[in-house]
Chains A and B, each alone.
Chain A
Amino acid sequence: MNLAEKILAAHSGKPHVAPGEFISAKVDVVLANDITAPIAIREFRKLGVEKVFDPKKIVLVPDHFVPNKDIASAEQAKMLRDFAREQGVNFFECGQMGIEHVILHEKGLVVPGDLVVGADSHTCTYGALGAFATGMGSTDIGAAMATGDVWMKVPPTIKFVYHGKLPKYVGGKDLILYTIGQIGVDGALYAAMQFSGEAIDELSMEGRFTMANMAIEAGGKAGLFLADKKAVEYARNHSHRKPVVFEPDADAEYQAMHEYDVSKLEPQVALPHLPSNVRPVSQVGDISLDQVVIGSCTNGRFEDLQMAAGILKGKKVNSNLRCIIIPGSQQVYMDALRAGYIEAFIEAGCAVSTPTCGPCLGGHMGILAAGEKCLATTNRNFIGRMGSPRSEVYLAGPAVAAASAIAGKIVPPEI
């Protein structure tokens, strides 16, 4: 069995599982946010169950429209708050924590070997730790809150191997954008993506979270990494729970394997309107920008802000654009503050916001008008994703984003 199969077998009490098989699996973490939890709670109520299966394993994070942007979104967040108090589940209030896929591992709620389901497509982020984590809808999560298990079809696994040493300014975001560009937005439909190779061994945990986060943009059910020393150490530093390390068998089967030499890879940019519309930054052409956003569950971690601050410090954001920086959690915010990055951002003319998913999905804090162009470190550039259906979103890593904020147009870092 491969890694995905090992984790799923262990959670379904079976000695062996194979792709295509339907299983019922016990979950370690059940997650929902202020958009998806209201429906999940409504469906949970329909089951006629009084109590959730295990309050310690349920996590509610209001992070999309917070601080609440209007009365309707305030009502949604209140639903989570009231349910959390009633049931005693984990609840992370705005002002204390941050974006769900930045805080769950930061707070030690996910460890290697876990099975995580979340009513958010980017739940696949936790695959970086060697957990099988996947996004579902609200009804699934409502049922899982009651039963502690989910039905699942065991996916085939596609293996991705990255050879070579990554050049400067090329990170996890560039690797995953490049990969999606190669295989397309349905290139891993229904499959688990497993990432490995020398470049991955060298990649930080933060870079791995970024890669796993975007597995869904290729249609993937999960983005998986082997829990190596780095992942286990991360879990030990953040969690009291014991990591469980699964190793694929030597004769494990994979649906396909893709190998890339990344030693000469350039920073990558996804052009509108699909995350697969990718090219190297040097071949993007002359694209003037109205906005740059650095943040989100993809690239709102400390390392991302460190990269951006290294480029923006002592410089000024171009007068033709606004640059919005959003630390992914209060911890990231505090760490960046102590490291002097927040000061550097503000001196450069950036707007720094409290943690929120807001602009990434056109919610609030950076909505685009018709005809405007934005380069963002977020994960999607669909039509209307960040505001007007006639606006354009370009995706890149924090190095390209910071350099472009200074230049006023899309440029490679270090020109």
Chain B
Amino acid sequence: MLKGHVFKYGANVDTDAIIPARYLNVSDPYELSRHCMEDIDLDFVKRVKPGDIIVATTNFGCGSSREHAPIAIKASGVSAVVAKSFARIFFRNAINIGLPLLESPEAVDATDIGDELEIDLETGTIRNLTKGKTFKAAPYPEFMSGIINAGGLIDYTRERLKK
């Protein structure tokens, strides 16, 4: 069960906003997390606490293929991202590294900055504890669940290579 307070953003949060390219001369997760969301929210790094949840509207993670973006979010302590829709490469990268993403337009519309959310990844249930409302995210396709359950793409591939 994941639980945390909400940082809420709008549409088209791009990977340059999540982690500006000027910091990509390193790939250390901690170093990247120190600059997460910097260009659109200077307070994010100061205020984020382990378990917190990012909520955004459409096309979250658009732009560059840099895996540094989900790595920076995960290393910041964020436990999940809930959005109306995700950019394709960001979605794939997050699955591969084990950052949970949930698609639920209803949950996004009903959630405000600072609300407390509780997420059950098993069932895709999102509970807004502040508002007392419950939502259901679209389930992962079976194929992706296989990767997630294996612990990410590298563990999944390691298993495949053994066979």
Q: Which residues of A contact B (CB under 8 A)?
A: 22, 35-36, 38-39, 42-43, 46-49, 64-65, 69-70, 72-73, 76, 118-121, 123, 135-140, 142-143, 146-147, 151, 153, 185-186, 189-190, 216, 219, 221, 274, 361-363, 367, 380, 382-385, 387, 389
Candidate in A38, A64, A143 with the most chain B CB atoms within 10 angstroms? A143
Interface string of B100-125 (1 = CB under 8 A from A): 00000000000000000000000000
Interface string of B78-119 (1 = CB under 8 A from A): 000000010111001100110000000000000000000000
* A48 neighbours in B (Cβ, 8 Å): 158
Bound complex: CA A36 to CA B71 (Å)? 12
Which partner residue on chain A sits nearest B141 by CB separation? A22
Among the stretches B1-9, B14-22, B43-51, B131-139, the one at the interface with A is: B14-22
Check: B59 CB closer than 8 A to any chain A CB: yes
Bound complex: CA A335 to CA B154 (Å)? 43
- Asked whether A186 lies within 8 Å of B62 as measured between CB atoms, the reply is yes
* A185 neighbours in B (Cβ, 8 Å): 12, 59, 62
Bound complex: CA A213 to CA B27 (Å)? 25
A137-B65 contact, Cβ under 8 Å, with A362-B20, A382-B16, A384-B17: yes
Which partner residue on chain B sits nearest A143 by CB separation? B157
Check: B153 CB closer than 8 A to any chain A CB: yes
Which partner residue on chain B sits nearest A120 by CB separation? B65
Bound complex: CA A328 to CA B96 (Å)? 32
Chain B nearest CB: distance from A210 CB in Å?
18
* B66 neighbours in A (Cβ, 8 Å): 35-36, 137
- Asked whether A143 lies within 8 Å of B153 as measured between CB atoms, the reply is yes
- Asked whether A139 lies within 8 Å of B64 as measured between CB atoms, the reply is no
- Asked whether B25 lies within 8 Å of A47 as measured between CB atoms, the reply is no
Check: B129 CB closer than 8 A to any chain A CB: no
Candidate in A22, A73, A76, A385 with the most chain B CB atoms within 10 angstroms? A385
* A151 neighbours in B (Cβ, 8 Å): 143, 147
Interface size on B, residues (CB 8 A): 43
* B143 neighbours in A (Cβ, 8 Å): 22, 151
Bound complex: CA A378 to CA B143 (Å)? 36
- Asked whether B16 lies within 8 Å of A380 as measured between CB atoms, the reply is yes
Bound complex: CA A35 to CA B71 (Å)? 14
- Asked whether B39 lies within 8 Å of A384 as measured between CB atoms, the reply is yes
The 7 A-B residue pairs whose C-beta atoms are closest, nearest first, are A137-B93, A137-B67, A384-B39, A361-B21, A72-B25, A186-B59, A389-B39
Which partner residue on chain B sits nearest A138 by CB separation? B67
List 19 A-B residue pairs with CB atoms under 8 Å apart, sorted by A's residue number. Answer: A39-B27, A39-B67, A137-B66, A139-B96, A139-B154, A140-B93, A143-B154, A143-B157, A186-B58, A186-B62, A186-B87, A219-B59, A361-B64, A382-B14, A383-B14, A384-B16, A384-B20, A385-B16, A385-B21
Bound complex: CA A317 to CA B66 (Å)? 35
- Asked whether B62 lies within 8 Å of A219 as measured between CB atoms, the reply is yes
Candidate in A73, A384, A387 with the most chain B CB atoms within 10 angstroms? A384
